[in-house]
Amino acid sequence: MRLTRALIVGVAAILVLFVPVCITFASPTSTLDREGGDVFDDWRVCRTRGGGEDGFFQESYTDANWPPESFRPQIVFESLGEYADTACRLGQEFAKEYSDESQRAESIFYFVRDNVRYQPDADQFDLDEFAQNADELANTVEDEGLGYGDCEDMAILLSVMFYTGGLRSAIVDCPGHAGVVVFLPGYEEANVDLELDGESNWVWAEATGKNNSFGWFPEGQLDGPFLAYEISAESIDLSRPTAIVVSPSEFCFSFVLGGPNPASQTLAVEKSGQGTMQWSVTDNATWLDVTPANGTCNGETRYITLSADVSGMAAGIYRADLNISSADVTNSPVVTPVYLNVAATAAAIPTIAPTPSDFSFKAILGGGNPASQILTIGNSGQGTMQWSVSDDASWLSTSPSSGMFASSYAEVTLSVDASKVGAGSHDCTVTISSPGASNSPQTILVHLKVTAGRPSMLIWILVFFIIVVIMFAIVLVGKLRRA
């Protein structure tokens, strides 16, 4: 469905000093699985992106430009129908308390606005994107008295509570934002009467700003098109596989001229989600053999043997790419590089030797960044090593990220930006790769612990001084009155 008016959402950011950053969830979602850079819930809905068949909004694109061809906010259905829980109960309670639909809609809106504080996903979950379902956020509000979420979290909760409160509602997918509209014929407090598929009397509900009123949005500041999806108790398809999962992420064969072919290596292929995944593997090198080249996964791990035939090859470093494909999933194909180092002598084969094997950083919330640390990349083998490093966290940076050395070593500076995370423990992995090395890639664990700060001694002294001054003033006033 398309919303026929141009909309903009005024998002008011609330500064929150102490917010837990660990991902904790209540019913109905009991487990979360991290697969590569994505996080999936019990329904195999991806919480870290809206696009794709398994995305929380199921946005479907033919190209990278807005708008998507369609979207379906399937995360909403995790809290409706047979899965209905806290958010549904709250909506029903408002329906019992308020017979007038306008009062009911306003009360639901102000409940969410006043009990959920806006907070970006990066601050709360250390992820660029993470969607909570309606029950997770509603449970937090009930258990802790206050919840935290961004625009789509509030839109998801509002849409479910409106719907279960007996009101028609729709989620609106906007460029960089998500909102909610509710159907209220005769409501006169909204500054704009919106139309949804030619039907008027839809009212905008924007709960992300603490001073926002129900029915308000600023006109004319964004052009559409916008997409809207009216909510109902639909089902979630639990039978689909969602992604190809392979390990390791790259391979390296080493060979000395005149010697036997290098030993074979094994690629593991799995699937996430339910159902059956049919897969195939192709490569672009005559020296690489892959067996088997296709198969199916029904929950088990399939193993593929990689063999290198170096007959007639000259000394040098070669690369091939494995393409693991499946028409049943959204991340096809997965490309895995395979390196072959053909050395004239054994002295030409490097081996990655990183030190230390892990790092630990500590920071105080709001107190600045911890000191940088040094990762040393050595070569316990021989020859020249060309290397690169990468990591999987927004709060960690590495410099330099690549280089080459022959007889010495390389030093990489690891720096932490603690402002990108909240209080709690955070882990990430640094990956060191070197085409031609006998043991590429190597991984290093990096741990960051951020603790809530305590007032400094200077602040305590200042507080004590203020108390003394106040007490002195009270005594002085008392003497003057007696005089």
Tens-place pLDDT, residues 187-226? 999 988 888 989 999 999 999 988 999 998 766 655 567 8
Placement of tokens 């590089």 in the chain? 337
User: How confident is the model over 374-393, as a mean pLDDT?
Assistant: 88
Lowest mean pLDDT among 94-103, 309-318, 341-350, 473-482: 473-482
User: How confident is the model over 367-375, as a mean pLDDT?
Assistant: 93
Distance CA(228)–CA(155), nearest Å, equals 12
Same fold: 241-345 with 352-451: yes
Checking if the pLDDT of 460 tops 80, the result is no
Checking if the pLDDT of 24 tops 50, the result is no
Q: How far is CA 264 from the centre of its chain?
A: 36
Which two structure tokens, joined as six digits, stand for 18? Answer: 């102490």
Which two structure tokens, joined as six digits, stand for 181? Answer: 């509209």
Top CATH class of 2-230 equals: alpha beta
Superfamily of chain region 241-345: Immunoglobulins (2.60.40.10)
* C-beta of residue 46 within 8 angstroms of C-beta of residue 52: yes
Q: Which residue has the higher pLDDT, 369 or 381?
A: 369
Give the per-residue pLDDT at 13: 29
Dihedral of CA 294/51/273/427: which sign? positive
Most confident of 164-168, 172-176, 244-248: 164-168
Distance CA(412)–CA(465), nearest Å, equals 47
Checking if the pLDDT of 159 tops 50, the result is yes
Q: Which residue has the higher pLDDT, 61 or 47?
A: 47
Give the per-residue pLDDT at 151: 92
Give the per-residue pLDDT at 23: 38
Q: What are all long-range contacts of 81-85, with beta carbons under 8 Å and residues at least 24 apart?
A: 81/233, 81/234, 81/235, 83/28, 84/164, 84/233, 85/27, 85/28, 85/135, 85/138, 85/139
- Residue 448 pairs in a beta bridge with 361, 426
Give the per-residue pLDDT at 455: 52
- Nearest in space to 129 (alpha carbons), one of 207, 63, 50: 50
Q: Which residue has the higher pLDDT, 235 or 137?
A: 137
Checking if the pLDDT of 483 tops 70, the result is no
Give the per-residue pLDDT at 423: 78
- List CB contacts of 228: < 8 A, sequence separation 6 or more: 1, 2, 3, 170, 171, 172, 173, 181, 196
Distance CA(20)–CA(423), nearest Å, equals 6
Give the per-residue pLDDT at 70: 86
Most confident of 44-53, 110-119, 120-129, 312-321: 110-119
Q: Which residue has the higher pLDDT, 421 or 78?
A: 78
Distance CA(345)–CA(383), nearest Å, equals 9
User: How confident is the model over 297-303, as a mean pLDDT?
Assistant: 89
Q: Which residue has the higher pLDDT, 7 or 449?
A: 449
User: How confident is the model over 106-121, as a mean pLDDT?
Assistant: 95
Give the per-residue pLDDT at 476: 79
Domain boundaries, the chain: 2-230, 241-345, 352-451, 459-483
User: How confident is the model over 329-339, as a mean pLDDT?
Assistant: 88
Mean pLDDT of the chain: 85
Lowest mean pLDDT among 28-42, 126-140, 409-423: 28-42
Q: What is the 3-state secondary structure (H, E, C) of the chain?
A: CEECCCCCCCCCCCCCCCCCCCCCCCCCCCCCEEECCEEECCCCCECCCCECCCECCCEECCCCCCCCCECCCHHHHHHCHHHCCHHHHHHHHHHHHCCCHHHHHHHHHHHHHHHEEECCHHHHHCCCCCCCCHHHHHHHHHHHCCEEECHHHHHHHHHHHHHHCCCCEEEEEECCEEEEEEECCCCCCCCCCEEECCEEEEEEECCCCCCCCCCCCCCCCCCCCEEEEECCCCCCCCCCEEEEEEECCCEEEEEECCCCCCCCEEEEEEEEECCCEEEEEEECCCCEEEECCEEEECCCCEEEEEEECCCCCCCEEEEEEEEEECCCCCCCCEEEEEEEEEECCHHHCCCEEEECCEEEEEEECCCCCCCCEEEEEEECCCCCEEEEEEECCCCEEEECCEEEECCCCEEEEEEECHHHCCCEEEEEEEEEECCCCCCCCEEEEEEEEEECCCCCHHHHHHHHHHHHHHHHHHHHHHHHHHC
Give the per-residue pLDDT at 3: 52
Most confident of 165-169, 250-254, 330-334: 165-169
Give the per-residue pLDDT at 253: 87
Checking if the pLDDT of 291 tops 90, the result is yes
User: How confident is the model over 238-267, as a mean pLDDT?
Assistant: 84
User: Could you give the percent of the chain with pLDDT greater than 70?
Assistant: 88
- Residue 390 pairs in a beta bridge with 431
Give the per-residue pLDDT at 454: 55
Q: Which fold has domain 352-451?
A: Immunoglobulin-like (2.60.40)
Checking if the pLDDT of 281 tops 90, the result is yes
Distance CA(389)–CA(375), nearest Å, equals 10
